[in-house]
Structure 1
Amino acid sequence: MRNFIQPGKVLTAVAPSGGVVSGQLVQVGLIIGVAATSAAEGEQYELALGEVYELPKVSAQAWTMGAAIYMDATGIATTVATDNTKIGVAAAAAANPSGSGLVRLNDNF
């Protein structure tokens, strides 16, 4: 294909106010990804999409594999849908309490 640009598993984005830290869950418009690199505000960074990541979660939640996972306003993964953005599904069970869980990020809309 003459119009193919790239696979799209990693996109270059510009860091928002406060910058980004490698491994941080980031939302850019409708795109949800994990910062693959750190960057100060206004600098470019790589945003990884799809795939499975270990992300900080609401500690007091137990997750089952395949459960819908959302991102709250603070960037923490949760099973609570209300007022949160769907980011993917739990890739494995996660205990209550636990500070992180495995999430398979959505890579299509």
Structure 2
Amino acid sequence: MKNYVQAGNVITATAPAGGVSSGDGILFDRLFGVASTDAAEGEDFELATVGVFDLPKAAGAVTFGAPLYWDDGAKLITTVASTTSGDNAVAGIAVAAAGSGVATARLRLVI
């Protein structure tokens, strides 16, 4: 194909205000991914958009197969799709159950 660019599993993005650290969940409008590298504000970094990651989660249990969302204000994975302040971005699907006392959720990223 003449118009093929890349698989898109990892893309180059520009770090937002405050920069990013490797392993951070990052949201650009509706594109959610995980920073593969550290970068200061305005620097390019690699954003993983495919894969399975452990990310910090909000309080509450997560069941296997549940849809998961990114609460960008709290910087946490949640099972709540929307709140009174707006919609949370789709982040992925839970690939492991996590009890309410567990600090992380294991999810497969989805676009």
Task: State the secondary structure of the residue aligned to 1:97.
Answer: coil
> 1:77-103 CA deviation, whole Å, 9 max, x = no partner?
011111311211111100111100101
Return the letter of the residue paired with 2:91: I
Instruction: Provide the residue aligned with 1:50 in structure 2.
Output: 50
Where do 5+ consecutive residues of structure 1 fail to align? none
* Percent identity of paired positions between Structure 1 and Structure 2: 46
> 1:7-28 CA deviation, whole Å, 9 max, x = no partner?
1000000001100010000011
> 1:55-109 CA deviation, whole Å, 9 max, x = no partner?
0001x311111111111122200111113112111111001111001011113xx
> 1:9-53 CA deviation, whole Å, 9 max, x = no partner?
000000011000100000112211000001000000000012110
Instruction: Provide the residue aligned with 1:24 in structure 2.
Output: 24
Would you say 1:88 and 2:81 are equivalent positions? no
Structure 1 stretches of 4+ with a deviation exceeding 3 A read none
TM-score (norm 2): 0.90
Task: Tell me if the contact between 2:30 and 2:89 (Cα under 8 Å) persists in the aligned partners.
Answer: no
Return the letter of the residue paired with 1:52: V
Where do 5+ consecutive residues of structure 2 fail to align? none
Instruction: Provide the residue aligned with 1:65 in structure 2.
Output: 64
Q: Give 1 or 2: higher strand fraction.
A: 2
